Amino acid sequence: MIQNVLKISLLVCVCVYGVQAHAQAPFLLIENVTLIDGTGAAPVEGASVLIEGNRFAAVSKGPLSVPAGTPRVDGTGKFLIPGIIDSHVHVPGGRTGPGNRTLVSQPEVGIPVMEGLLYAGVTAVYDSGNNAPYITMMRADERAGRIRSPRIYTTVSLIAPPEGHGCCAGGTVVHDYADGVEKLDAIFAMKPDLLKFTRERRGMGPMGRNMPLIPIDLMTQLVAYAHDHGIRTTVHVSEVELAREAMQAGADAFAHTIYLDAANADFAKEAAAAGVIFSSTMTRIEADTAFLDEPLFVATVPEATRRAIKVSERFGGSAYTGWLSSLRPAIMQNIKFLYDSGVTIAMGTDRTMGAMAHQEMEILVEAGIPPIDAIRMGTLNAAAYIGVEAELGSIEPGKLADMVLLTADPTVDIHNTTLIDAVYKGGKRVDRSSLDVPANQH
Q: Which residues bind Zn ion (CB under 5 A)?
A: 128, 350
Please, what is the minimum distance in Å from the beta carbon of residue 282 to Zn ion? Answer: 13
CB-wise, 87 or 136, nearer to Zn ion? 87
Gyration radius (Cα) of the chain, Å? 22
Please, what is the minimum distance in Å from the beta carbon of residue 261 to Zn ion? Answer: 20
Strand pairing category for 95-96 and 102-103 = antiparallel
CB-wise, 165 or 232, nearer to Zn ion? 165
Please, what is the minimum distance in Å from the beta carbon of residue 166 to Zn ion? Answer: 8
Contact assessment for residue 335 and residue 373, using Cβ atoms and an 8 Å cutoff = no
CB-wise, 27 or 320, nearer to Zn ion? 320
Task: Determine the angle formed by the axes of helices 107-119 and 132-143, rounding to 10 degrees.
Answer: 50
Please, what is the minimum distance in Å from the beta carbon of residue 304 to Zn ion? Answer: 23
Beta strands in 227-270, from DSSP E residues, in sequence order = 233-236, 253-254
Instruction: Name the amino acid, one letter, at 197.
Output: F
Instruction: Name the amino acid, one letter, at 151.
Output: R
Contact assessment for residue 257 and residue 282, using Cβ atoms and an 8 Å cutoff = yes
Please, what is the minimum distance in Å from the beta carbon of residue 47 to Zn ion? Answer: 36
Please, what is the minimum distance in Å from the beta carbon of residue 344 to Zn ion? Answer: 19
CA–CA distance, 159 with 249 (Å, rounded to integer):
15
Contact assessment for residue 94 and residue 135, using Cβ atoms and an 8 Å cutoff = yes
CB-wise, 70 or 87, nearer to Zn ion? 87
Please, what is the minimum distance in Å from the beta carbon of residue 129 to Zn ion? Answer: 6
Order of strands across the sheet that contains 253-254: 172-173, 159-160, 195-198, 233-236, 253-254, 277-279, 344-346
Please report how many Cα atoms fall inside a 13 Å half-sphere around the Cα of residue 433, on the Cβ side: 1
Please report how many Cα atoms fall inside a 13 Å half-sphere around the Cα of residue 208, on the Cβ side: 17
CB-wise, 245 or 350, nearer to Zn ion? 350
CB-wise, 128 or 300, nearer to Zn ion? 128
CA–CA distance, 170 with 158 (Å, rounded to integer):
8
Burial class (CB in 10 A: 0-12, 13-18, 19+), 307: exposed
Give the DSSP letter of residue 400.
Answer: B
Contact assessment for residue 22 and residue 367, using Cβ atoms and an 8 Å cutoff = no
Please, what is the minimum distance in Å from the beta carbon of residue 256 to Zn ion? Answer: 8
CB-wise, 349 or 411, nearer to Zn ion? 349
CB-wise, 121 or 129, nearer to Zn ion? 129
Element (H, E) at 152: strand 151-154
Using CB atoms, what's the residue nearest to Zn ion? Answer: 350
Contact assessment for residue 346 and residue 87, using Cβ atoms and an 8 Å cutoff = yes
Please, what is the minimum distance in Å from the beta carbon of residue 100 to Zn ion? Answer: 10
CB-wise, 286 or 350, nearer to Zn ion? 350
Please, what is the minimum distance in Å from the beta carbon of residue 251 to Zn ion? Answer: 16
Give the DSSP letter of residue 385.
Answer: H
CB-wise, 149 or 238, nearer to Zn ion? 238
How far apart, in Å, do the first and last CA atoms of the chain sit?
Answer: 51
Burial class (CB in 10 A: 0-12, 13-18, 19+), 398: exposed
